[in-house]
Amino acid sequence: MTDSRPAADAVRIGIVSISDRASTGVYQDQGLPALQDWLTRALHNPITFEARLIPDEADRISATLIELVDAGCSLVLTTGGTGPALRDVTPEATLAVAHKEMPGFGEQMRQISLAFVPTAILSRQVAVIRDRSLIINLPGQPKAIAETLEGLKNPDGTQRVNGIFAAVPYCIDLIGGPYLETRDEVVKAFRPKSAVRPPRTAP
């Protein structure tokens, strides 16, 4: 059966791994491959990735986020640098470039992580909007990245706790970005019925 839907919108996504040691080659970065793999599995959209590996330096982080927004990235995901350690400055650098804060994302990320470790309350991830871009700080470990984005499922496969990505496509709709289409087996986007793009019949 031929899929009669129009082709999914192309999207440019910034992915930023923030680590002093990985950026200097002390160990191999795992954040960028984890982000790219998950997004490729989760979205129907053709994606152009803008990847950056940078140290934990606030000015550098802020400048990189601005650069990616200016380059047309509708979504920018960072990984690393969100704990309480002295070098962890990703949230401050993200808030410094914000036009609007989106506190619900950070609240939900901590709720998901608390299902696994009590130290989730030490995480300081934030999400903000700059121009027409959504910027989200994610945890540093690949497993935690996937759990945060997808949420938690019961043994029978039903959703126990929603992941944050379920809300990302509609948020990007509201700020004037491309229409993101998710693969339900990875994560199911939620939109009000009035915001769902109807299928188009092939000529």
Tell me the domain boundaries of the chain.
11-195
Give Cβ neighbours of residue 174 (< 8 Å, ≥ 6 apart): none
What's the pLDDT tens digit per position in 46-83?
Answer: 999 999 999 999 999 999 999 999 999 999 999 999 99
pLDDT value of residue 23: 80
Classify 11-195 by CATH class: alpha beta
Residue 110 has pLDDT above 60, yes or no: yes
Place of tokens 């994606």: 47
Residue 28 has pLDDT above 70, yes or no: yes
pTM: 0.93
Mean pLDDT within 93-104:
98
At 101 the three-state DSSP class reads strand
Among candidate residues 3, 48, 7, 9, the one with its CA nearest the CA of residue 173: 9
Among candidate residues 61, 45, 20, 51, the one with its CA nearest the CA of residue 183: 45
Among candidate residues 55, 77, 82, the one with its CA nearest the CA of residue 65: 77
192: amino acid identity, one letter: P
At 52 the three-state DSSP class reads strand
Indicate the DSSP class of residue 182: B
Using 50, 70 and 90 to split pLDDT, how confident is the model at 113? Answer: very high
- The whole-chain average pLDDT of the chain stands at 92
Contact 76, 65 (CB under 8 A): yes
